[in-house]
Structure 1
Amino acid sequence: MSDNGGWSDPSRQGDQQKPSPGWQAPPPSFPQAPGYGSPRGYGKPGVIPLRPLSVGEILDGAINTMRRHPGLTFGVSAIVAVIEAALSLGASIWLLSEMGPIPPQPGPAATPQEALDYASAVLGQTAATLGVTLVITVLIRTFLTGFMTVVVGKAVLGKPITFGEALGELAPRLPALLGVTVLYTLMVAVGSVFFLVPGIWLYALFSLASPALVLEHGRVGQALNRSRLLVQGSWWRVFGVLLLTGVCATVIAFVIQIPFNLSAGVGGADMAELGSASIGVQLLSSAGQVVAQTLVAPFVAGATALLYIDQRMRKEGMDIQLARAAGAV
């Protein structure tokens, strides 16, 4: 295998001294064969069949990856979720203590100034808490996304991988992966603030940049461009898969957190009420978030990585390369 595991960008293959087996696309003159966009494919050596995938097969492949590698997926996801919850809870408590208590909610006879002061205090604390939580979430989940992408890459071929091997492949890519994640988040946020449609469009257009960067070992700009090319012409399909994945993840996380929130007595609490709750209540609510994210986060990351692989099989005939790497042909 090559230094990037064979996940070469087809546009950069001419710069390599020799082609590498595995996950690179065939040259334009490569003859079509069963599996090159064919429903027959090359069998199923790993978690997905080696052919263009249906939506159900993408989601099923993400679940199968977690089932085949439970120690890697759930173990690492649990550690990441605990760190994320601890940092978010600590930052929220510190922020709320520094900003001071929220004034009492004004009654019907309150003056406009009292109502404005209350709204400003609630909005300020909520915005500060959400902002810090978002930064922590982006930083922590960048690692989990990259880690799951490496695991999925091996699971598709039916090959085992250890924690050390996955970490060794991911570590050199972490700075660039963080750069892609930050740029992607900012683009979607800016597009959503000015007008919702550009944010949604950018969300799907560059959604495959992270797996492209991790597996192809490119640079930040190259990964964003690769995502654009892979999504181009298939925007609605990519957006639909991402939307369905997000809805499934949200529903699962909500159901998991219900008993924790009800036990803590914050089932209907807003951000201000939760922020002013006792430490025990906040810890119980955070425990629910940890359990939910341990199950949901690897599913979302795995589905996104498989969506990237599916787009490459559809557009670049990578299924035959996968079959060769897996020993199927």
Structure 2
Amino acid sequence: MNNSPGWASPGSAPSDEPDRGDRAPSDRTPAPDDHPGEEASPPPQWSKQQPPAGQWSPPAGVPGPRGRATAGHGAGGQVPGGPPWGGGWAPVPPAAKPGVIPLRPLRVGEILDGALSTLRVHWRTVVGISLVIAVVAQLAITLVTGLWFPDSGRTPVLRGESTEEIVKAFRDLEKSLLGSGITSLIGLLATIFVTGLLTMIVSRAVLGRPVTAGEAWRDARPQLPRLCGLLFLLTLLLTAVILVCTLPGGLVMALGSAPAGFALGTLGLLAGGALAVWLWVRFSLAPPALMLEKQGVLASMRRSAKLVRGSWWRILGIQLLMYVIVGVIEFVVQIPVTLIAFIIDGDGLLNWMSGPTEATGWTFLTLLGIGAVIGSALTFPLSAGVTALLYMDQRIRRESLDIELAHAAGLTDYDTPAPAGNIPNQSTNDEPKH
């Protein structure tokens, strides 16, 4: 038996209705051919007024499954292009698509296509916002790389076997990891921030409505202080997890046992990274929940955890696929930029590749930063769109958000059943809806 409200599999007989389904031959109603020449009398519980066989069709406007009107059915209860009511079940009509996605539970390809369609349809607004955030973020990354961590991103070289050389190599590695971590954190903050802003554009693109940068800013501005608080709290949480896990290794290394401290620190870094990834996926839907539902910081994190529950691996897989695509796009953009940087400042590229003992020139870092800005302006909309559509997909699956989106798009009589393989989980009534 299917206990999901509003949905019953075709031909199924619920276990709490014993009168439905197949009966034993002794209990079945005699057919007219069993007694030739005699008119079959209806069972006593049937109404005496019955429509002629094979000629009845539901009146126009009579609600069907889940309130869907049956207008449009042909004579004999037949759906145009489908089997008659008595001979089979008509195929589920395609879901409405007022904007960039169909209003039903989404597949992976539809989530990616929806993000790309948002970029294609609203490219002026999307690229403008992404470009501004990318410039600010890349400026911070370039300053951090050039001033405090000029050797970040390069592997330290072990030039000897003495204890001093080993300790120096470990310190260089620690500095390189710290610099890479800070630059990655800046990129993560920029991604979350642009996700919050572009979520407002995606929410209108789903409804098929135009949006300008000014409208997106007016919609997002009241929630920006809370979004900054969410960014700060997530950053503090992820950083604290990694630091706590790597602290034992650092203490052992400080006490004089460099190899043991490095090994323990590596294990702690792996454990902290795994825990940070788990927390990141768990709270990855907090920015769109905060922006669209007007939630507070802690409430949006609880909301994200509730939406992710039971779908953690699916959301992780889609996010990883998105990051692979983002990496490929950035790599393709950086190839010509790196060639131009080599032509203009060949010494900077050679210093960058030679090791941590050589300084990298500002010209080379600036050119790399320009390439990163171009790549980010293209990839920010993809990552933000995927996150926002993942949030909407989870709400469609759990809360039938597709019906509310259809009504918001002007489809007032829209109410489509979900496919059998994507039956939404019914949520409690106390969950807020946008």
Picking from 293, 298, 305, the partner of 1:216 is 293
Query: CA distance change for structure 1 residues 112 and 264 in 2, over 3 Å: closer, same or farther?
Result: farther
Unpaired runs of 5+ residues, structure 1, are 1-30
Do the aligned partners of residues 303 and 105 (structure 1) sit closer, same or farther apart at CA in structure 2, a change above 3 Å counting? closer
Q: Is residue 56 from structure 1 mapped to residue 109 from structure 2 by the alignment?
A: yes
- 1:45 aligned counterpart, secondary structure: coil
Q: Could you list the per-position Cα deviations for residues 99-143 of structure 1 after superposition, in whole angstroms to 9, with x for gaps in the alignment?
A: 9xxxx96745x64314433542x3354245335434543444443
For 1:264, the equivalent position in structure 2 comes to 341
- Does 2:116 align with 1:66? no
Aligned in 2, Cα 1:180/1:41: closer, same or farther, shift over 3 Å?
farther
Higher relative contact order (CA 8 A, sep 6+): 1
Comparing 312-321 with 247-256, greater Cα deviation is found at 247-256
Q: Identity of aligned pairs, percent?
A: 39
Give TM-score scaled by structure 2 length: 0.60
2:400 aligned to which of 297, 317, 324: 317
1:200 equivalent to 2:250? Answer no
CA RMSD in angstroms comes to: 3.1
Report what 1:123 is aligned to: 173
* Distance in 2 separating the partners of 1:165 and 1:278: 41
SS in structure 2 opposite 1:174? helix
Partner of 1:286: 369
Instruction: Indicate how the Cα distance of structure 1 residues 129 and 272 shifts in structure 2: closer, same or farther if over 3 A, else same.
Output: farther
Distance 2:354 2:218 in 1: 39
> Which structure 2 residues correspond to residues 42-121 of structure 1 after superposition, within 5 A?
42-96=95-149, 107-108=159-160, 111-120=162-171
Check conservation: 1:312, 1:318, Cα contact below 8 A.
Answer: yes
How far did residue 198 of structure 1 move?
A: 3.0
Distance between the aligned counterparts of 2:130 and 2:230, measured in 1?
Answer: 21
**1:197 Cα offset (Å):** 3.9
Matched, 1:246 2:246: no
Q: Secondary structure at the match of 2:102?
A: coil
Instruction: Specify the alignment match of 1:181 in structure 2.
Output: 231
SS in 2 for 1:218: coil
Higher helix fraction: Structure 1 or Structure 2?
1
**One-letter identity of the residue aligned with 1:150:** M
Q: Which amino acid aligns with 1:177?
A: L
Amino acid at match of 2:388: A
| Cα distance in 2 between the residues matched to 1:136 and 1:44 | 36
Tell me if the contact between 1:106 and 1:118 (Cα under 8 Å) persists in the aligned partners. yes
1:136-155 Cα deviation digits (max 9, x unpaired): 43444443111110100010
| Counterpart in the other structure of 1:231 | 308
Contact residue 261 and residue 267 of structure 1 kept, 8 A: no
User: Structure 1's 39 and 47: CA in aligned 2 closer, same or farther, altered over 3 A?
Assistant: farther
Number of equivalent positions: 290
Structure-1 residue corresponding to 2:259: none
Q: 1:141 to 1:300 in 2, by over 3 A?
A: closer
State the distance in 2 between where 1:218 and 1:106 align: 51
Instruction: Kindly indicate whether the alpha-carbon contact (under 8 Å) linking 1:40 and 1:51 is maintained by their aligned counterparts in 2.
Output: no
Instruction: Report how far residue 72 of structure 1 moved.
Output: 1.0
SS at match of 1:328: coil
Distance 2:208 2:67 in 1: 22
> Counterparts in 2 of 1:137-152, with a 5 A limit?
137-152=187-202
Query: Partner of 2:103: helix, strand, or coil?
Result: coil
Give the drift of 1:163: 1.0
State the one-letter code of the partner of 2:296.
R
Structure 2 residue matching 1:79: 3-state secondary structure: helix
Match status 1:160 vs 2:213: no
1:252-280 superposed Cα distances (whole Å, 9 cap, x missing partner): 21222122224434499569659822111
TM-score normalised by length of structure 1: 0.78
In 2, the alpha carbon distance for the partners of 1:309 and 1:105 equals: 48
Q: Structure 1 residues 298 and 272 mapped into 2: Cα distance closer, same or farther (>3 Å)?
A: farther
CA–CA distance in structure 2, aligned partners of residues 142 and 197 of structure 1: 20
Indicate how the Cα distance of structure 1 residues 79 and 107 shifts in structure 2: closer, same or farther if over 3 A, else same.
same
**8 Å Cα contact 2:352-2:360 kept in structure 1:** no
What does the per-residue CA deviation read over 1:151-185, in whole Å, with 9 as the maximum and x for residues that have no partner?
A: 00010001111111111111111121122233334
Change (3 A) 1:161 1:44: same
Distance 1:105 1:319, change over 3 A: closer
Q: Which amino acid aligns with 1:208?
A: L
CA distance in 2, matches of 1:220, 1:286: 32
Contact 1:260 1:288 in 2 (8 A): yes
Residue type of the alignment partner of 1:61: G
Distance in 2 between residues matched to 1:65 and 1:219, nearest whole Å: 27
User: Which amino acid letter does the alignment assign opposite residue 79 of structure 1?
Assistant: V
Residue equivalent to 2:332:
255
Aligned-partner Cα distance in 2 for 1:111–1:300: 46
* 1:232 shift after superposition: 1.3
